[in-house]
């Protein structure tokens, strides 16, 4: 009976409508019922995401026709192994952020909860969309919600960063929409599965592909289009920074992967994939070097995101070879999951540090580990994954990607992966070494005896999740192999 219920229910629609309904209730109730909404967001979306994952694992890819119309006229939702894992990623990070935000926000909560839950619904809709125009609509909802979240503090730096993000995200959306229009004019459909059967190597299709990649790379903050990210992520409140870095930049990357797998597999070029790989390698080095020189902790973590995004783009050249497609895809999926948990944990830990110290100047955080032992330990545990040390999820993901590089003879990508881990150790220990120094009372304000468990525990839970993922490499490979719903590269999976 339970399994029949799991298999017959449209969990893809439930995963979208659960945070959407909670967002509406949060707006309607405002200050009267915000805590009930907050706890519901901690519990309900993870349950729906888990049910979706089980459903895909039991019966394979699932396609849901909203209103019964079906493609190409209707709006379809598609859930396979990749999209189900991304929805679960949102659920894990989102649940921790909702738990953290209850202790973090004061008067801003009236604007935070409806906006955050709307962003959560938009994220799930992007991961489950089967139509390129619906992806565009949900990307715009994601952009507008993100702008509001960045500007919550209403400080000058936050407002400037939010406006810059808005302008550049809309520019990226314009490029993407132009590509969608060209594809529709050439192929007569925007359903990704049908596009995979109709695209050719004509000039309009190639131009559409280039425009969409450019727009989505701008939204993902791939070097050299990353200039909006450090300011936006460092100026936003800590739970918002966790969402931006852990989830939102991965939404546009997910669309890039979907386009490559489902729509453009037959017309993509070796040169194009290697250009994306080279830009990813540059991002790893450049972002790491910038993180080593900045003086503020949140800015350091933001530049770390610029660097970590680069690993995702190594998937494009690594997955071209049939023999390594499974390793590369499983590796990049595991990396996305581990990075989401680890980077969100780091930002939440930094939020606790700033609450106690009153600032995030690295030079003035000596001995903060004595005041916030759990938050500091969470930062260190998450750093293990970001550096790629065993037994973390970051290590397992990079190991799979290294295997793909060695299998295909692309050893130079392996060098980049190893170098990125060493550089990550360099900039992450800048904070850890100072935080673990003896507290002589000179750098920090007097302790007030207030408990910060509400800020430290969610960060710790995410850091533990990032490390536990290191033991799930083999099951994840099997799940991806059996649950992907695309052709082309999928034949190698």
227/91: higher pLDDT: 91
Name the pLDDT band for 491 (thresholds 50, 70, 90).
Answer: very low
pLDDT of amino acid 70: 60
pLDDT of amino acid 73: 62
pLDDT of amino acid 488: 40
Lowest pLDDT segment from 220-224, 334-338, 406-410: 406-410
Q: What are the tens digits of pLDDT across the range 167-193?
A: 999 999 999 999 999 998 888 888 888
Structure tokens at 34: 């915000």
Q: Span 14-22, mean pLDDT?
A: 92
Say how many residues make up the chain.
493
Q: What are the tens digits of pLDDT across the range 273-315?
A: 899 999 999 999 999 999 999 999 999 999 999 999 999 999 9
Cβ neighbors of 400 (< 8 A, separation 6 or more) are 327, 328, 330, 331, 334, 473, 477
| pLDDT exceeds 80 at position 470 | yes
pLDDT of amino acid 489: 40
Q: Span 328-334, mean pLDDT?
A: 89
Q: What are the tens digits of pLDDT across the range 198-239?
A: 888 888 888 999 999 999 999 998 988 888 888 888 888 999
397 assigned to some structural domain = yes
317 assigned to some structural domain = yes
Structure tokens at 32: 């009267």
Structure tokens at 456: 């430290």
pLDDT of amino acid 490: 40
Q: What is the total count of domains within the chain?
A: 1
448 assigned to some structural domain = yes
141/435: higher pLDDT: 141
As to burial, measured by CB atoms within 10 angstroms (0-12 exposed, 13-18 middle, 19+ buried), residue 314 is buried
187 assigned to some structural domain = no
Q: Is 199 left (phi over 0), alpha (psi -120 to 50) or beta?
A: beta
Could you give phi then psi for residue 296, rounded to 5 degrees? -105, 140
426 assigned to some structural domain = yes
Domain interval for residue 456:
269-485
Name the pLDDT band for 484 (thresholds 50, 70, 90).
Answer: low
Could you give phi then psi for residue 75, rounded to 5 degrees? -105, 120
Average pLDDT, the chain: 86
50 assigned to some structural domain = no
**Residue ranges of the alpha helices (H) in 259-372?**
270-293, 297-313, 315-318, 325-357, 368-371
Name the pLDDT band for 493 (thresholds 50, 70, 90).
Answer: very low
User: What's the whole-model pTM score?
Assistant: 0.92
Q: Span 153-164, mean pLDDT?
A: 86
pLDDT of amino acid 284: 95
Name the pLDDT band for 366 (thresholds 50, 70, 90).
Answer: confident
The full DSSP string for 9-58 is: S-HHHHHHHHHHHHHHHHHHHTTSSHHHHHHHHHHHHHHHHHHHHHHHHH
Q: What's the half-sphere exposure (Cβ side, CA atoms, 13 Å) at 137?
A: 10
335 assigned to some structural domain = yes
Lowest pLDDT segment from 28-32, 109-113, 198-202, 450-454: 450-454
Structure tokens at 384: 């293990």
Query: Rounded to an integer, what distance in angstroms lies between the CA atom of residue 382 and that of residue 339?
Result: 9
Could you give phi then psi for residue 355, rounded to 5 degrees? -65, -35
132 assigned to some structural domain = no
Structure tokens at 196: 């995979």
């Amino acid at each position: 009976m339970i399994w029949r219920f799991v298999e017959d229910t449209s969990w893809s629609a439930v995963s979208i409508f659960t945070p959407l309904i909670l967002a509406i209730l949060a707006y309607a109730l405002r200050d009267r019922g915000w805590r009930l909404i907050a706890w519901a967001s901690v519990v309900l979306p993870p349950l729906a995401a888990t049910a979706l994952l089980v459903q895909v694992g039991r019966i394979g890819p699932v396609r849901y026709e909203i209103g019964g119309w079906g493609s190409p006229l209707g709006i379809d939702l598609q859930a396979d192994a990749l999209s189900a894992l991304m929805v679960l990623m949102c659920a894990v990070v989102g649940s921790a952020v909702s738990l953290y935000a209850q202790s973090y926000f004061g008067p801003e909560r009236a604007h935070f909860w409806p906006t955050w839950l709307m962003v959560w619904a938009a994220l799930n809709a992007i991961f489950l969309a089967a139509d390129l125009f619906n992806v565009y609509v949900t990307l715009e909802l994601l952009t507008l919600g993100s702008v509001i979240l960045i500007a919550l503090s209403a400080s000058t730096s936050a407002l400037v960063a939010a406006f810059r993000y808005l302008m550049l995200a809309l520019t990226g959306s314009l490029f993407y929409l132009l590509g969608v229009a060209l594809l529709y004019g050439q192929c007569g459909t925007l359903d990704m599965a049908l596009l995979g059967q109709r695209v050719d190597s004509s000039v309009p299709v190639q131009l559409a592909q280039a425009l969409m990649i450019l727009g989505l790379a701008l939204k993902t903050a791939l070097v050299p289009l990353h200039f909006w990210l450090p300011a936006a992520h460092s100026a936003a409140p800590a739970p918002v920074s966790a969402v931006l870095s852990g989830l939102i930049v991965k939404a546009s990357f997910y669309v890039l992967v979907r386009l490559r797998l489902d729509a453009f597999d037959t017309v993509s070029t070796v040169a194009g994939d290697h250009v994306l790989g080279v830009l990813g390698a540059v991002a790893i080095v450049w972002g790491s070097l910038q993180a080593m020189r900045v003086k503020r902790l949140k800015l350091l973590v933001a530049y770390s995101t610029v660097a970590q995004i680069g690993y995702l783009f190594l998937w494009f050249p690594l997955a071209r070879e049939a023999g390594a497609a499974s390793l590369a895809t499983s590796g990049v999926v595991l990396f996305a999951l581990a990075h989401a948990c680890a980077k969100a944990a780091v930002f939440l830990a930094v939020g606790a540090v700033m609450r106690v110290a009153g600032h995030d100047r690295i030079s003035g955080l000596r001995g903060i580990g004595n005041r916030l032992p759990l938050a500091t330990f969470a930062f260190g545990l998450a750093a293990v994954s970001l550096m790629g040390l065993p037994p973390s999820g970051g290590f397992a993901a990079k190991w799979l990607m290294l295997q793909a590089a060695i299998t295909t003879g692309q050893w130079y990508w392996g060098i980049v992966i190893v170098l990125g881990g060493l550089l990550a150790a360099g900039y992450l220990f800048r904070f850890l070494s100072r935080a673990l120094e003896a507290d002589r009372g000179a750098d920090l304000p007097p302790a007030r005896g207030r408990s910060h468990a509400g800020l430290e525990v969610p960060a710790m839970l995410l850091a533990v999740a990032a490390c536990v993922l290191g033991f799930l490499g083999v099951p994840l490979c099997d799940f991806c192999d059996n649950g992907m719903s695309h052709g082309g590269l999928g034949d190698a999976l």
